[in-house]
Amino acid sequence: MDLAEGLRTRKTFRGFTAEKVSKEIIQEILVDGHMAPSASNMQPWNFHVLTGTPLSKLCANIEDFHKNKKVTYNSAKDKKIPEKYMQRRKKLFRELKPVISALGDENRQFIESGSIRFYDAPAVIFITTDCDLPENKLMDIGMAAENIMLSAHARGLATCAIAYTLLYSEPIKASLNLNVDTETVLSIALGYPDNSFPINNFRSSREDLNNVISWQGF
């Protein structure tokens, strides 16, 4: 797969087979993640990869936290999201609704319940950073994350970036042995796509490109 094709065909998968991803393949993917550009080449990321028992233990701990002190996801961090972005978000959930409904009533909260268990992916990559770095570290981490997802895609693997789980930073920090100066920015579920799982056929739409471009001097 060439890069241009990879960019256009990458998408989020929310169902994985149980097949393990080898450490060697994940290592290769992280080489690509680490090649991402960053402001002043500060490379403000650390990658933590969990699979097998450590991952199942973490999922069980997150589930306990979720049951006992359910937190509401607030990606806006108390900022009011402007209406046009709310509309785009609503559109995603409108488009997902029939696909999720088809999974049955017990899956009504599929995104929430799936996200907290990383959609049962056999491996999860957590990207952490230093709390003391300025906010533009998040741009660098976004670039590393996209490199990781594209690299996985090029190898026939599936990914889902998951921010929802970060609500449960306590069990994550304990499980990754993070010190107080470190924060978790994103988790990426990684595995082979379960092509029999209907939600994996879902493809999110995009705003009309003309609405997000302005040209000058052409």
Ligand X SMILES: Cc1cc2nc3c(=O)[nH]c(=O)nc-3n(C[C@H](O)[C@H](O)[C@H](O)COP(=O)(O)O)c2cc1C
Q: In the complex, which residues of this chain contact ligand X (CB under 6 A)?
A: 11-12, 14, 92, 111, 115, 160-164, 186, 204
Minimum CB separation of residue 10 from ligand X in Å reads 7
Minimum CB separation of residue 136 from ligand X in Å reads 16
* Residue number, 150 or 162, with CB nearest to ligand X: 162
Minimum CB separation of residue 199 from ligand X in Å reads 10
Minimum CB separation of residue 216 from ligand X in Å reads 28
13, 193 contact by CB (below 8 A): yes
Residue nearest to ligand X (CB): 164
Cα separation, 168 vs 189, in Å, equals 16
* Residue number, 27 or 71, with CB nearest to ligand X: 71
Minimum CB separation of residue 217 from ligand X in Å reads 31
* Residue number, 205 or 216, with CB nearest to ligand X: 205
Report the half-sphere exposure of 215 (CA within 13 A, side-chain side): 4
Q: What is the dihedral of CA 208, 186, 151, 57, to 10 degrees?
A: -130
* Residue number, 104 or 217, with CB nearest to ligand X: 104
**Nearest residue to 23 via CA among 57, 51, 55:** 51
How far is CA 74 from each of CA 77, 78, 151, 155, rounded to the nearest angstrom?
A: 6, 7, 29, 33
* Residue number, 56 or 204, with CB nearest to ligand X: 204
CA 209: distance to chain centroid? 24
Cα separation, 49 vs 153, in Å, equals 17
What six digits make up the tokens of 100?
């999720």
What six digits make up the tokens of 116?
């907290």
Minimum CB separation of residue 214 from ligand X in Å reads 23
* Residue number, 115 or 151, with CB nearest to ligand X: 115
Cα separation, 165 vs 115, in Å, equals 6
